[in-house]
Homo-oligomer: A and B are copies of this chain.
Amino acid sequence: MPTVKLWTDAEVSANPCIQAVFDDIRSTRKSDFVNNFWRALANQPELLERTLSSIKQVMIASGVLDPLTKELIYIAVSVTNNCSYCIHSHTAAARAKGFTDQQHVELLAVIGVASETNALATALQVPVDPEFTVK
């Protein structure tokens, strides 16, 4: 259960400011479906707008990393932060971008090995090699 109200389409349509952001979400993603994350953020118009703006700039605008790679990085962060909602939404987003089962296996394997070696390096308090320094 959420800690705030989730806005229905009817409630959104009664608030032109929120409606404009939802219209933007729908046209940006070329889909009528607006997921619960945005329906929760609708309680906070400024935060809703700023979050959408960040997502558009970082995840949707084209850059040097392809969209699927960005989703895999997003999933890796979300798994490590244990954000159940984000794991589900970005695994679905990756699938919509062509994420294959074999890529999923490899993503999981890398996340698993990184988690294990992170714990080992931390437990051993391994000092950073001078060779890794930025020149």
With A113-B59, A120-B41 already in contact, the answer to whether A35 and B91 are too (CB < 8 A) is no
Q: Which residues of A contact B (CB under 8 A)?
A: 1-6, 33, 35-37, 40-41, 43-44, 46-47, 50-51, 54-55, 57-59, 63-65, 69-70, 72-89, 91-92, 100-129, 131-134
Closest chain B residue to A75, Cβ basis: B123
Closest chain B residue to A100, Cβ basis: B64
With A4-B104, A59-B110, A64-B103 already in contact, the answer to whether A51 and B120 are too (CB < 8 A) is yes
Are B37 and A113 touching (Cβ within 8 A)? no
Are B103 and A65 touching (Cβ within 8 A)? yes
Closest chain B residue to A5, Cβ basis: B134
Closest chain B residue to A130, Cβ basis: B1
- Give A82 to B125 CA distance when docked, in angstroms: 10
Are B47 and A121 touching (Cβ within 8 A)? no
With A44-B108, A103-B65 already in contact, the answer to whether A114 and B128 are too (CB < 8 A) is no
Closest chain B residue to A101, Cβ basis: B43
List 17 A-B pairs, Cβ < 8 Å: A6-B126, A51-B117, A54-B116, A65-B72, A72-B73, A73-B111, A74-B110, A77-B80, A83-B121, A85-B126, A86-B114, A86-B118, A89-B128, A89-B132, A92-B131, A112-B116, A112-B119
